[in-house]
Amino acid sequence: MEGHPVAFSRSVITELMVPSYANFGGKVHGGTLMSLMDKLAYVCASKHAGNYCVTVSVDNVQFLRPVEVGEVVSLMGSVNYVGTKSLVVGIKVMAENLQNGVSKHTNTCYFTMVAKSADGSTAHVPPLILECEDDVRRFCSALQRRRIREEGVAFMTEYKAAFTDHHDVADLLSTERCLLAL
Domains of the chain listed by start with CATH number: 4-130 (3.10.129.10)
Query: Which whole-number Å values give the CA distances from 49 to 10, 35, 86, 123, in the listed order?
Result: 13, 21, 9, 8
Percent of the chain at pLDDT above 90? 86
Task: Give the C-alpha separation, 164 to 141, whole Å.
Answer: 36
Please tell me whether the overall predicted TM-score, pTM, comes out greater than 0.95 for this model: no
Q: What is the structure's pLDDT at 165?
A: 63
Please, is 33 exposed, middle or buried when counting C-beta atoms within 10 Å of its C-beta (0-12, 13-18, 19+)? Answer: buried
103-140 exposure pattern, b = at least 16 Cβ within 10 A, e = fewer: eeebbebbbbbbbbeeeeeebebbebebeeeebeebbe
Task: Give the C-alpha separation, 58 to 179, whole Å.
Answer: 32
Per-residue pLDDT of the chain (182 residues; tens, 9 = 90+): 799 999 999 999 999 999 999 999 999 999 999 999 999 999 999 999 999 999 999 998 999 999 999 999 999 999 999 999 999 999 999 999 999 999 999 999 999 999 999 999 999 999 999 999 999 999 999 999 999 999 999 999 998 888 876 667 878 888 999 987 87
Q: Where are the alpha helices (DSSP H) in the chain?
A: 6-9, 30-49, 133-162, 167-173
Q: What is the structure's pLDDT at 38?
A: 98
Percent of the chain at pLDDT above 70? 98
Is the separation of the CB atoms in 44 and 77 below 8 Å? yes
